[in-house]
Amino acid sequence: MTDTLSRAATPATRGTRRAIPLVGAALTLLVAVTGCTGADGHGSAAPDATTPVAVTVTGPLCDQLPAGDEPGNPTSLASQPADQALQWIPVLTTFEAAVRATGLATELTGTAGVTILAPTDDAFAAKFSRTNLDELLLKETDTLRGLLRDHVVTGSLPVAELITSGTVTTLAGTRLTVTGSGRSARVDDRADTVCADYQVSNARIHVINQVLGSLPTTAGDEEDDHHS
């Protein structure tokens, strides 16, 4: 079974420029399921790379993500619903699995337009221990959903409009300050956009490098217990 899970291909691991490490057994299982079923339960089809909408993303991480005619390039995701588009951005494995585990896809696709501030896998690894993350994904999904809603803003806002607004309110009701540095935005004075302006159906996705919200940081707890 372990070998089957490790070999399962997902949209986020096909045609990408680097391998992304997984965090925790629950996440491994959820990612494996993504490779077997798409949002409609019939398999995850490749996004249409011939869509005429040209999309340009900006940020220091963008050159490590699919581009050109690679599967998951920004232009090919323009017609995808937000929850499906997330599957094709390889550094958002944890965030996408969390969206699925909590059922947040309904809010992402059913709202008139949203802006998704999606933390990278590295950001989740720096925030939560493996055990804590597994508990959130498998048992504490209400808590996890609340955390994710702190990363979703009403209105489909390009990064330039985020910066101009100065403050935005999340679906959880939290007000976030936004400042600008060049073509990047700094959110809540702790997270920076590292690949901004994925334009997908009904939403904008901005990849950020820190987890927002008020949950405590547990990364490192397991190492501390091991050495105590």
DSSP 189-203: TTEEEEEEEEEEBTE
Please tell me the predicted confidence (pLDDT) of residue 18: 45
What pLDDT, on the 0 to 100 scale, is given for residue 37?
Answer: 42
Q: Which residue type occupies 227?
A: H
Pick the more confident residue, 101 or 31.
Answer: 101
| Inter-helix orientation angle 93-102/25-36, to 10° | 80
Residue pointed to by tokens 């702190």: 150
Tell me the residue type at 219.
Answer: A
Whether pLDDT at 57 is above 50? yes
- Say if residue 189's pLDDT is above 70: yes
109 pLDDT band, cuts 50/70/90, is confident
Say if residue 67's pLDDT is above 90: yes
Task: Examine the pLDDT at 227 and tell me if it is beyond 50.
Answer: no
**Token couple for 21:** 């490490």
What kind of fold does domain 2-227 have according to CATH? FAS1 domain (2.30.180)
Residue 177, strand partner residues = 167
The pTM score is: 0.81
User: What angle, rounded to 10 degrees, do the helices at 130-138 and 141-149 form?
Assistant: 100
Q: Does the pLDDT value for residue 178 go beyond 70?
A: yes
Q: pLDDT class for 15, splitting at 50, 70, 90?
A: very low
Q: Which residue is listed with tokens 């045609």?
A: 15
The pLDDT of residue 14 is 46
The pair of structure tokens assigned to 87 is 């599957």
